[in-house]
Amino acid sequence: MSAILIAERYAQALSESVTDSQQLEVILSDLGEFKTLFLENNELHTALSNPAIPPHTREGVLDDVLTALALQPVTRNFLKTLFLRRRIVLLPQVVSLFEKMVDERLNRVTAQVTTATDLTPETEHRVREGLVAFSGKSVTLETARDPEILGGVVAQIGNIIIDGSLRARLNQLKQALLVEEK
């Protein structure tokens, strides 16, 4: 079975085991905190994933870290299960998939918005409201600047791209003029 499929099953199991939406947020935060530590601390990563280190030593390291982080019991048990089943190396994929499942359950999406210049707070609000109306979900904006779009906005939600840039409109006009010349 592929690693992504295994990670998806663990994320799904965790998602289904939690019924309270506020607890989902706390668990997601806990997992994010542990994931960051796991990825940025090479010693921890090695201590938890290296089969050359005796299992009881690795488990002791995990217990110490979980105690130090003061994570929720559900998060602690989940991470312990990943470790005991030798799936701790799948943690980054599991967290990413779990985050998508939480967003889906809480009716949220993230939109990548690209503009030629920085958005004013008023414009950002209008863009967000337009994307909320379009998607029917709560929208978190991730903004970026790209002067090459000349003006307007390019927004992406999942695999849907809404190109309202001046560059796209000029290209459409150019294509229309080229068709008329033929």
Q: Which residues of the chain have pLDDT under 50?
A: none
Q: 90 and 118 in one domain?
A: no
Structural domain ending residue among the three candidates 52, 81, 104: 104
**Boundary-marking domain end, from 64, 86, 104:** 104
- CA–CA distance, 118 with 161 (Å, rounded to integer): 20
pLDDT at 112: 94
**Tokens (6 digits) for 83:** 């470790």
Domain count, the chain: 2
123: its two tokens: 């414009």
- The verdict on 72 and 151 lying in the same domain is no
Report the distance separating Cα 6 and Cα 2, nearest Å: 6
Q: Which domain holds residue 128?
A: 107-181
Task: Determine the 3-state secondary structure of 8 from DSSP.
Answer: helix
Is the same domain home to 44 and 126? Answer: no
pLDDT tens figures, 47-94: 998 989 999 999 999 999 999 999 999 999 999 999 999 999 999 999
Q: Can you give the pTM of this predicted structure? A: 0.76
What is residue 6's predicted lDDT score, i.e. its pLDDT?
94
Q: What whole-number distance in Å separates Cα of residue 13 and Cα of residue 113? A: 32
